[in-house]
Chains A and B, each alone.
Chain A
């Protein structure tokens, strides 16, 4: 299963949005439920899902769906 397929349901559940509405450029700017609190929850949930610890300096930088996918894909390769 590719990273996008794994990430989408988790993303949709945490942000309470429809999977179909998730786009590569989905971000706090265009997803109203993606606030700073949910951003932390998202990062922690992804860490648990993929068994990867995000570097502290990357936590705030990872603010698009595409960016998160790329980051976890790269860290897992």
Chain B
């Protein structure tokens, strides 16, 4: 395996707060040590999307500064990443147009991502305005839903983010990837943690594909629908 530099990271409560501020995912599973202790992971866990972006950012930083556009991104979270523990980053495989990256703690993988991207002609990070206007509309408390309320549930999710904070937390991604793609990724964690399914839920996996999307506009919003909600295995599947 190839090492990504920096090759490890320790997430702190402050990191969690800043990522929650950026993404809008303030689910107490990621923020509140007292409440998290009573939930299935037994302690605060790092947002899955935080791991994804934290893997991608240093990988991007080592590449040439040419703007890129993700075509496909798959992520799995086979384990839990806890605060104040060392998480090591590896590149398992590189192809001409993508890579497989993994985050590992105590020899257990906690995030695995596979992506394909293409070089983009247009500049990325700084282009586009209006991203902050949607921030005040984001919920501040996660919705709590019963299993029988989830089947068929759907809606729309506005896109928005603090682009200055984005540039601070993920500088390499910010300058290379279109804002729309970054906003959609951040919206995924906000959707799962805050809106649908909401409280007590985290990602186990996701796959995103981008084709002809408006790269620099927050419009249209993301539309989502629950395609399966299975209480036996505590699993919700959604289509975006």
Residues of A within 8 A of B (CB): 35-37, 40, 43-44, 56, 59
Contacts and interface: CB of A to CB of B under 8 A. Distances in A.
A13 to B, nearest CB: 14
Given A40-B235, A44-B230, A44-B233, 14 more contacts: A35-B78, A36-B78, A37-B77, A37-B78, A37-B204, A37-B205, A40-B204, A40-B233, A44-B228, A44-B235, A56-B232, A56-B233, A59-B232, A59-B233
B76 interface: yes
Nearest to B233: A40
Describe A's contact surface by its main secondary structure.
helix
Nearest to B109: A35
B31 to A, nearest CB: 24
A36 B205 CA distance: 12
Contacts of A56: 232-233
Contacts of B78: 35-37
Interface size class of B (residues with CB under 8 A): 10 to 19
Contacts of B232: 56, 59
Interface of B: 76-78, 204-205, 228, 230, 232-233, 235
Contacts, number: 19
Best-buried of B77, B204, B232 by chain A (most CB within 10 Å)? B232
B204 A43 contact: no
Instruction: State the 8 A-B residue pairs at the shortest beta-carbon distance, nearest first.
Output: A56-B232, A35-B78, A40-B233, A37-B78, A37-B204, A40-B235, A37-B76, A59-B233
A45 to B, nearest CB: 11
B159 to A, nearest CB: 28
B30 to A, nearest CB: 19
A15 B235 CA distance: 19
B206 to A, nearest CB: 12
Nearest to B77: A37
Nearest to B231: A56
19 contacts: A35-B78, A36-B78, A37-B76, A37-B77, A37-B78, A37-B204, A37-B205, A40-B204, A40-B233, A40-B235, A43-B233, A44-B228, A44-B230, A44-B233, A44-B235, A56-B232, A56-B233, A59-B232, A59-B233
Contacts of A59: 232-233
A6 B77 CA distance: 28
A35 B228 CA distance: 21
Contacts of B233: 40, 43-44, 56, 59
A59 B78 CA distance: 18
A12 B210 CA distance: 27
Nearest to A60: B233
Contacts of B205: 37
A38 to B, nearest CB: 8
Nearest to A39: B233
A37 B103 CA distance: 16
A56 B230 CA distance: 11
A68 B215 CA distance: 45
